[in-house]
Structure 1
Amino acid sequence: MSNLPPYPADSGADYDALEPASSAAGEALRELRARAERRRLVTQSPPPETPAEMQRLVQELQVHQIELEMQYEELLLAQTEAEASRAQYLDLYEFAPVGYCTLDAAGTLRQLNLRTAQLLGLVRQQLQGRRLALFVEPRQRPEFADFLARVLATDPADAARHAVTLTLVRPDGQPLELRLEASSAHHALTDQPLVRLALLDVTEQQRATRALAESEQRLRQALDAAAMGVVSWDFATDQWQADVRAQAIWGLPYAAAPRPADTLAALLHPADRPRLRQLAELPTARTADVDLELRLPQAGAPDRHLSLTGHVLAPGPAHPQGCLLGLVRDRTQHHRTQQELSYKTQMLERILSHLPVLLGRFDTQGRYRELVGAGLRRLHLADNELVGQSVFECFPTISEHNRRLLTGESVDFVGTTELDGEQVYYHCYGFFDTERNEAVVFALDITEPEQQRAETTRLQLRQQQLVLSAILTTQEEERRRIAEALHNGVGQLLYATRLHLTQLPDSEALRAGQQLLQEAIRATRNISFELTPRILEDFGLPTALRELADRVPVSLLRLSLQLEGLADEDAPLPPPVQMAAYRIVQELLNNVMKHAQARQVRLLVAQQPGQLRIRILDDGVGFVPAPVPASGGIGLAGIRNRVELLGGTLLITSAPAQGTTIEIELPLQGELVR
């Protein structure tokens, strides 16, 4: 074998023809042949007597055989490596947490991994061959088409990647927000343009982003609604950063760049500058709260007020000496409102202290929480002396008003209570405060005005009584004069005429004339009696009423008279009341006989404590009482006038065919009847 030429010298045109054009591939084949030559040397050679040409061919075949065996070994090794690479590819591509897919120029899905199928909500076999645009939300399909066009127009050699965020709708209707990252490529065999896509589910990220944006927007809206601005102060650099509103509140034009803290401190009231500067000197081992009210002087105008609230933060990497984070708010109007409220509170305190006014507050159980004011002095009470006690027990006369007040109803009334035998009056106004769940009452002592009003009323009534007494006296005097004229004048003439006729010869005409004359004398006597009931003056009201009842013809009316308490000698009726009662009963009986068409009448006249009661009941035709009293001086109108002049009351109850009841009450107390 040592006589054989080396393997490269034996290489002929056939081997050279097998050399690949690539120098790297040729070098690999020469290395493979050299290895085969070395392995052939250890193999068995043909017998020496074998012709040289035959030996050369055997050697060549042996070398080729060894090469094939070595190539087979390498193919097996490459296949193993390819299987390992394929398994790794499957792990990286098929089971990746990101969706991968390949689209053709029309946007049709040609290849996709399992994650893409999961995102689109269908199995892979149902997705291959379908256009991805069908899953895109309809309003975003034009944007997706533009995206594909941009990717396809990119040179595959360009490493640039294109990205877009779109909303895809799964077949079950569930929307997904996906971020699509794409690059262009070409098919290895057909050289057709392709688009390789990576699909990342950013639904939760987008939701979180929107939630954060909405939260920031709400925060900004809240700050705008509260008219607040955000500020920060870095103690290390002594720089003050503020937003637009905070700078406007401070009275500065907006500037994006930070300002020195001294610039803002110089705008403050001199007494407030140290308070601001002290914030930078606070212990910074931990967070400290800040709540300051600062003043901004204004030329020729009251100071403006602003509040600074926030925290002084401990030192950190961003702020080695700590910093202030806070909110600024214009409190000028609030401060002025507080001053106005304080002023009004002082005014209220002065009113309660110097005027006859009181202020009371009590809970839903009626227990006093506060009762103050100079108006308590008339009741001999000190401020808050009744706190904890029940308003219903302390002032029972106004309990009904207080109960209405506790139901949420506002009240306005004049309340009264008795103190040392005298009435004390308060004009009260109250409302229920739902926020504090308590009733509030203001009361003004009007005792003196009420006493003056009562005295005025008493004097007016006294004057009215005097006028009434004069009217009644004059009326009765006139009736007495007329009655005496009838009795002494007309009556005597009629009686003398009757005596003269008795001396004439008897005849039918004479007897008829005497009869008529007798009726005239009787009528004159009745008129005289009705004008002036002497029996009332001589024997009193009970006898006069019985006489009046006896004069009612039984054939016309059955009268039942009941008298109660009129014979009480310890409390005799005043003469004006006796005369008024007699005249009222007389007019009532006349009305019944003229208009009621009644068969039975019950008349009650009773003297009760403090009043005289007259009640008449008939079974006549009845009538509809007029809502407005008729004018005039006769009938019911005359009765009503007489009752009103005496300060009494009149009540008529009647209806057609149901009879009539009239009740009259005349007062017997006070100077009205004296």
Structure 2
Amino acid sequence: MMGIRGTSGTNDPERPEGRHAIDVGHAGVRKIIDTTCDGVWVFDTKGRTTYVSRRMAEMLGSTPDELIGAKLQEFLDPEDRAAAERDLHGWLTKQAGANYQHLLRRDGKDLWTRVASNPIENEYHSIVGLLGMFTDITERRSMEQALQRAETEFRIVFDASAVGIVVVDRQGYAVMANAALLNMLGYRREEITNVSFEHVTHPDDLGEDRRLYTALMRGEIDSFRREKRYVTRSGKVLWVHVNASLVRSTDGIPQYAISMIEDVTERVKAERALHHSETQLRLALDAARMVIWSWDVPTHRLEWSDNLHRVFDLPFERTPTTLQEVIDTVAPEDRERVRKEMNAAVENADFEFVSEYRVIMDNGETRWFEARGEVERDGAGKALCMRGTAVDVTARKSAEVALRASEERFRTLADAAFEGIAISDEGKLVDLNNRMLSLLDVQRDDVIGRNIAPWFANESTSEVQRRIREGDTGMYEATLLRRDGRPVQVEIQARYFQADQGRTLRVAAVRDVSARRLAAELLQQSQERELRAREDFSRHLLNAQEQERQRLAGELHDGLGQNLSLIRNRMHLALETANLDPEVAEHLQAVAQIASDCVAEVRSLAQNLRPVQIEQLGLTESLSSLVERVRDSSTTEIECRIEDVDDTLPPDAATHLYRICQEALNNVLRHANAQHSSLTLVRDVGILHLDVRDDGVGFDVRTASGAGGLGLTSIRERAQILGGNLEVHSLPGKGTHLQVRIPFTEPAERH
């Protein structure tokens, strides 16, 4: 190789084997070896140096003479020696090859090399040494490590960055994206490569984005920045700040773009909120006719908000810039006072500057302004600046004048009112009119500021306090106490209104209703007497009816009934006459039958007029018999359930209950047109419950009550006579339900 050949080795143990095995041939070969960029290093089979080129010695930081006899292991990192022994063995067994070796120079610095090795043979083809070509790759290794570190650092920054980072190809599709961007947009890592910037850009921002990215990929611009909107996978809209940079190839051709994407949604919201707030403040200041000012105390310079000219109607060239210029605009009668108030606020830390003053406008109009300010001081308490507001209060001043006039009118009207008027604040009296003072029999100074509660009777106090506490505005009655303790019945109704300083005042109109109350009581007593009289009249009338029915029943039974019975008997005797003409016998038989029918009808009439079976059979059996007779005379199916009630009512009361049941069933037959009906009479503790139901045509209860139907009226009057009541439930087409409740005294309680 390059004129170096292998020769037989020597047996001298003190000299490296093959020391003279290197034959440089002639000076040209040696010159080539010494001038090559690679180092040449020759070892014997024991790894000792037999030859080293000048370049190799320089690489190791030594000289060729110093290296003769040195072993390769001396220049290896201890951790690499075992691997180097294996490599040396492989080289000496003709397993030539190339690998990398990490060597240490004499000065301890790292030397990274690439090694190409070949064994050296003698003329007998025996391996007597090893030749290695060492290329210094330390600088390249350093660059590779630096590049690796840079790539690692980039990956760390890329993956850990809180800002979204994406690499985008020339077509606008994502090549890779970091976790921050994936989380921002809601995509998975494997999905993002199918997403282009157009997919996630808001439609309203897409046109400008396309224009910029096209210019970037054409190389017309190297980067661009903009704020835009992204639409996430879930449809949420984000505001982002995009900083896109172009990456070119070594020959300057655009390759791809790297974009840094920051979510600025909250910032945009904050900016918009701030802008909205500033706009609202400006509108509020204009609407309130208020300006903000700042006075530099040492220099007396003034600064104003930009709405000064709109509020004060001043031309721009007349903007007051000093305190004196402001004082000059104040009405002469207010100037000295305003100056003193401002000086007092500057000189006294406890003094708050609040001043109302008049300004004569250019058009001669007088307007009122209110100025407020707070003083900023240094550590020693010296005034540095006063900041505050000035607001046009002309309308308020006019309103105050109008309010005072209104209050006077209100006082005049209130004092002329027939009702008492009391104004209170959280339960304490603020003002009263003359009528209210007269009701209480007090002087105004005796009650102003006092609690309302003591002026009411005990039974009314809690109700009054509750209505005040709940802000009730309904009308109610209460008992008021005069100064001498005499009660006065009053009717109260209150209203609430907002007063100054956020107070809510209660205005109560109080009307003396003692006379009305007395009249109402007298009317109620009269109505009760009338009701009792009507009930007594109804009771006497019904009793009289019952007595008349009993008399008529007796007359029918004892008079007409007996005569008809005699006629029937005489007809039967005549029929027994011998040789009676058949035609005459037929007439006699017909008359006898008619007489029998009349007797039966008279008996039925007598029973209806006077239910004598109540006395004979009892109320329970009489009612059952009544239901049976109604069943026999009608096609309506009637269900009946009657408990034993014989011991519940006295005879007269039992008759009334019988008539109630009779009238209720008659109503079903005459008016209901029902298929099914029921009558139930049960007893409870001290109460009889009568229920009559049907599935008939029903009726409008209100119309029937207004029409005053005699049947229902009779049932109601009889129930009232018995101390009970009637309830009727019915609707057209829904049937009817009558409920009668009658109290009675249990037998055990009658003695």
Q: TM-score, normalization: structure 2?
A: 0.42
